Amino acid sequence: MPDPRLAAQLDFLLTCDRLKAVQRTTRLHDGSRFENSAEHSWHLALMALTLAEYAPAGTDMEQVMRLLLVHDLVEIGAGDLHFDAAAKALNQQHAAEAQAAAQLFALLPEAQAAEFTALWQEFEARHTPEARFARALDALQPMLLTWGQTADGAGGLGCTETFPELTVQRVLELKRSALAEFPQLWQAAEQLLREAERAGVIKP
């Protein structure tokens, strides 16, 4: 049998496997099914590794990846919330996520529990450059999956049935606070929407 510390860590890791069963409202790039939250977190960590050059100078990219790997673990207990939910539902979700964070991270040894809690709180507060860059990637990723196209023209521009009420203006309003601080990422988001508008899959 492993020692108590290792046993607690393994219990935490097995519990975190449940994130693979949390369905999000964004489809995979090929449109075949909805993404789960574990896939989302992995993709965001890969985005951080790939797009590090667009972060402000001095940004700790290892910390960004830590934030991205931890930020959605609370959805194991709280589930995912549609980004356009009503304010009351959003407040309820925040309370549910805080409770889920306390329960999940309590599985870890005390010092690690505090470390993981601090990572989740840093992402939520968005007061650090690392948290703001992580949040920008989190805002861009669903747009990339939904409206992006690969160089060979595969995927994207077809997954509009989930949010048919969205318009270009509405999406830009929703994403501005997270992305506008990072000019290249904001430009990429605007370009995705312009291409989607030209393709007729989102209204102006």
- Model confidence over 178-200: pLDDT tens digits? 999 999 999 999 999 999 898 88
Structure tokens at 60: 């700790």
- What pLDDT was estimated at residue 153? 72
- Model confidence over 132-157: pLDDT tens digits? 999 999 999 999 999 998 888 766 66
- Model confidence over 25-40: pLDDT tens digits? 999 998 899 999 999 9
Residue 23 pLDDT > 90, yes or no? Answer: yes
Q: Is the C-alpha dihedral spanning 26, 204, 186, 180 positive or negative?
A: negative
- Model confidence over 73-124: pLDDT tens digits? 999 988 765 544 554 556 677 888 899 999 999 999 999 999 999 999 999 9
- What pLDDT was estimated at residue 28? 93
**What value, to the nearest 5°, has the Cα angle with vertex 108 and ends 21 and 137?**
50
Question: To which residue do tokens 């972060």 refer?
Answer: 55
- What pLDDT was estimated at residue 87? 44
**What value, to the nearest 5°, has the Cα angle with vertex 170 and ends 45 and 90?**
65
Those residues with Cβ within 8 angstroms of residue 27's Cβ, 6 or more apart along the chain or in another chain:
33, 34, 35, 145, 146, 159, 162
Looking only at Cα atoms, what is the longest distance across the chain?
Answer: 61
All structural domains of the chain, each given as residue ranges with its CATH number in brackets, are 4-198 (1.10.3210.10)
- Model confidence over 37-64: pLDDT tens digits? 999 999 999 999 999 999 999 999 999 9
Distance CA 148, CA 143 (A): 7
The CB density around residue 44, as the number of other CB atoms within 10 Å, is 22
Those residues with Cβ within 8 angstroms of residue 13's Cβ, 6 or more apart along the chain or in another chain:
none
Phi, psi of 197 (to 5 degrees): -65, -45
The Cα-based distances of 59 to 6, 19, 48, 56 in angstroms read 32, 28, 11, 6
